[in-house]
Chain A
Amino acid sequence: MDDLILRLENIYKSYPNSPAPVLNGISLSVAQGQFVTLLGSSGCGKTTTLRIISGLDAPDRGRVILAGQDMSHVPPNARDVNTVFQSYALFPHMTVEQNVGYSLRLRRLPKAEIRQRVREALAMVQLEGFEKRRPSQLSGGQSQRVALARSIISHPRLLLLDEPLSALDYQLRQQMQQELKRLQKQLGISFIYITHDREEALNMSDVIAVMRDGAFEQVGTPEEVFDSPRTSYVAKFVGGANILHCHVERVEGQIAWFQNAQGSGAFSTRGHSFSPGQNATLAIRPDQAQAEKDFDKSAPGLVGTVKEKSFAGGVLRVAAELSGGQTFVCSRQGIDWDLAPGDQIKISWAPEQACPVDWEALDEKEN
C-alpha cells in the first residue's frame, strides 16, 4: 500500500447552488508512475475531482491521502501535486522563463540553479530558446508546453492534467499525446489526466476511470474498459457499442442463447451466471458485428434494413434499423462494402464478442 501516490476514499462534494452532488462517493488508488485517466462527458465531476486532489477545493466528506498522509484539508501550496490547467493559466506579466521558474523562485533557490533547471524543463518540452518570450507571443501548443514545463520543474509526485490538449488541433493533439506519454515515462511521476476523448484515454492510459454523474462507472485498464465494459454506459461511451436487450432462452456451458422479435444470437456469459428466462443486456461494438446482404434465414443474427452508410477515419459505418425501430451500427475497415441504403441485411457476431453488461444491477435485483 505504501507505493500508492494517491488514495481517494469515498469523496463527496456538493456546491451551494447545485441540487445534485457533484461527487457522489468516489474512491481511487493511483500507484507510483501510473497514468490514470478520468474519462467522462462534461459536467460529470472530473474537474472537481482534480481540484479536490490539488487542494483548490475541499471535499465535504471523504479523505485525500497523498503518499500515505491524509491531506484532505491541507492547502494546495503544501501538497506535492501540480496541475496543468485547461486554460494553461500562464502568468501574463512574466516571461516564459519566469513562468517556468515560478515554483523554484518561491522556494528561494539560487538564481543559477533556477536558470539551469528552467533550461532543462524547457528542453524536456522542446522549447529551448523561448526563455524571454511573453505568454502573449506563444501559440496554443507552445503555451501548453510552457504550462507543462512549469508544473514539472519542481518534480511533483503527482501531476494533474485537466484536458490539456482540448484546445489544440487534431494533428498537434496526436503528437502531444505521444510526447506526454514519453515525458511521463521519462520523469516516472504519476499522471492523472482528464479527458472526454475516448481515443485519447485508450491511447495513453494505464488505468481508465469512466466517470458519470459524480461516480466511477468502471475503473480498469484500457483493454478491460474497452473489451469488457461492465455497464451499457461504459460500452456506449468507450466503445460506441450497440446495446441490445434480450431474453435468455437456453444456456450451453459458457454460451447463452437468446431469441426475440429482432432475431436470435448468442453471447459468452463471461463467468456470470445466466439461466433461461432471465433478462440480459448485451454490448456489441460496431467493429465486432458482421453484416451480410445474402444471408441464410435460418442462421442466427438480427435482420435489419440499411438506413445510412458513412465513411470516416478509414472506417466504413453502416447504420441499420432493426424491426422495432432500434438502430444497430456495424463498421469495417476500408472503403469497400457492397451495402446501400434499403438493403436487407443480417447482423451477426461471434458469441465471445457480445459482452453482457449491467449485470450488477441485475444481480442486485435478484438477490
Chain B
Amino acid sequence: MKKKTKELSWLTLLPIYLFTLAFILGPLLYMAALSFMTREEVWGVAAEFTLKNYQDIFQPVYLNTFGESLKLAFLSTGLVVVLGYPFGYFMAKLTAKWKRRTMLLLMIPFWTSSLLRLYGWVIIFRAGGVFDQLLTALHIIDEPLKLLYTYPAVVVGMVYALLPFMIFSVYSSAEKLDFRLVEAARDLGAGPVQAFLTVSLKLTLPGLLSGVVLTFVPSMGLFFIADILGGNKVVLVGSLIQEQLMKVHNWPFAAALSIALLVLTSVILFLYRKISGVKDLEGLG
C-alpha cells in the first residue's frame, strides 16, 4: 500500500515539473542557444554559431555598464539592509493589532502598479516638483534641486521598490525569535548590545540573508527604475538588454548579455553563500 503511494507520488509532482520545463528551463535554453547565433541584417537571427556576442560584452562601454549595475545593486542592497532590518525586527515586537496595521500599510502600495508608483516619484523629484516645493517652503533651498534624472533619484527608487521584500523577510524571521532567549542572555551577563549581537541577530540572520538575496538579484535587473528616474544618465545592464532587444533588434547580443548577467549574479550569490556560511538561503540555515 505504502509502496504503491510512493510509486505514484511522482504523478502529483508532474504538473510542477512540466510547468518548470515549459516556462523556466525552456526559455532559458532558448536564450542560451540564441546567444551563440548570428544576427541577420535589420531583423531576425541566423542559425550560425559564433562567439562574437560574448566577445562584444568585453568592450569597455559594456563592461562599464556591468560595473555601474553592480555598484548600484550593492549600494541599494546596503541601504535596504540598513533601513529594512530594524524595521522588520521591531515590527515583530509590536502587539498583534499594530502588526496587522503595519502589515496593511506595507501591502497597500502593492495594490497599485509599480510603474504608476514610480511615476509618483517623478512628480516628487522633478524640477519644481513636490520635493522642491517643500524644501523651498521650508527655506532650506532657494533654487530647485532638479533631483529627477540623477543618480540619487535612481537609488531612492530602487530602495523604495525593494525595501518591502527585506522587511517581510526579516519580519518572518524575527517573529519566530523567542524573546526569552534574549532575557536568558541578559541574565547570563550580556549587555543589551551583546545580547542583540549574540542572540537576536544570529537567530534572525537567515531572514536578513534571504532578504539580501531578494533585494540584490532584482536590483541587478530593475531597468525601468533607472530608465524612468535616471533618464539616459544611468544606464544599467537591464536597460542595455531591453535596448538591444526592442530598439536595435540584436537578439543574440541581448541574449548573451542576459546570460552574462545570470552568470554574474549566480557567481556573486555563490560567493555570498560561501562567505556567510549559510547553506540554505530560504531561511532554514
Residues in chain A within 8 A of chain B (CB atoms): 54-56, 75-77, 81-83, 85, 87, 89, 91-93, 102-103, 106-107, 150-151, 154
Q: Does B188 belong to the interface (CB within 8 Å)?
A: yes
- Give the distance to chain B from A279, nearest Cβ to Cβ, in Å: 48
Identity of the chain B residue whose Cβ is nearest the Cβ of A77 in the assembled complex: B189
Chain B stretch 154-189: residues in CB contact (< 8 A) with chain A? 178, 180-181, 183-189
Residues in chain B within 8 A of chain A (CB atoms): 178, 180-181, 183-192, 194-195, 198-199, 202-203
Identity of the chain B residue whose Cβ is nearest the Cβ of A105 in the assembled complex: B198
Residue among A75, A91, A106, A154 making CB contact with B184, cutoff 8 Å: A91
Contact A92 B203, beta carbon cutoff 8 Å:
yes
Residue among A81, A91, A107, A151 making CB contact with B181, cutoff 8 Å: A91
Return chain A residues, CB-CB under 8 Å to B191: 75, 77
Identity of the chain B residue whose Cβ is nearest the Cβ of A102 in the assembled complex: B188
Q: In the complex, given contacts A76-B186, A150-B188, A151-B188, what are 8 additional A-B residue pairs having Cβ atoms less than 8 angstroms apart?
A: A55-B186, A55-B187, A77-B187, A83-B184, A102-B188, A106-B188, A106-B194, A154-B188
Contact B203 A93, beta carbon cutoff 8 Å:
yes
Contact A77 B190, beta carbon cutoff 8 Å:
yes
Contact A89 B178, beta carbon cutoff 8 Å:
yes
List 24 A–B pairs whose Cβ atoms lie within 8 Å, in order of A's numbering. A55-B187, A75-B186, A75-B192, A76-B187, A77-B188, A77-B189, A77-B190, A77-B191, A77-B194, A77-B195, A81-B187, A82-B188, A85-B180, A89-B178, A89-B180, A89-B181, A89-B184, A91-B181, A91-B184, A91-B199, A92-B203, A93-B202, A103-B189, A106-B198
Identity of the chain A residue whose Cβ is nearest the Cβ of B181 in the assembled complex: A89
With known contacts A89-B178, A93-B203, A106–B183 Cβ distance under 8 A: no
Separation of A91 and B181 alpha carbons in the complex (Å): 7
Return chain A residues, CB-CB under 8 Å to B203: 92-93
With known contacts A83-B184, A89-B178, A106–B199 Cβ distance under 8 A: no
- Give the distance to chain B from A146, nearest Cβ to Cβ, in Å: 12
Return chain A residues, CB-CB under 8 Å to B195: 77
Separation of A55 and B181 alpha carbons in the complex (Å): 15
With known contacts A89-B180, A89-B181, A91-B181, A77–B199 Cβ distance under 8 A: no
Identity of the chain B residue whose Cβ is nearest the Cβ of A75 in the assembled complex: B186
Contact A89 B183, beta carbon cutoff 8 Å:
yes
Return chain B residues, CB-CB under 8 Å to A102: 185, 188, 190, 198
Return chain B residues, CB-CB under 8 Å to A107: 189
Residue among B178, B180, B189, B192 making CB contact with A106, cutoff 8 Å: B189
Separation of A79 and B253 alpha carbons in the complex (Å): 67
Residue among A56, A87, A92, A93 making CB contact with B187, cutoff 8 Å: A56
Identity of the chain A residue whose Cβ is nearest the Cβ of B202 in the assembled complex: A93
Residue among B178, B183, B199 making CB contact with A56, cutoff 8 Å: B183
- Give the distance to chain A from B183, nearest Cβ to Cβ, in Å: 5
Separation of A151 and B189 alpha carbons in the complex (Å): 10
- Residue of A83, A85, A89, A93 ringed by the most chain B CB atoms within 10 A: A89
- Give the distance to chain A from B26, nearest Cβ to Cβ, in Å: 41
Residue among A54, A82, A87 making CB contact with B180, cutoff 8 Å: A87
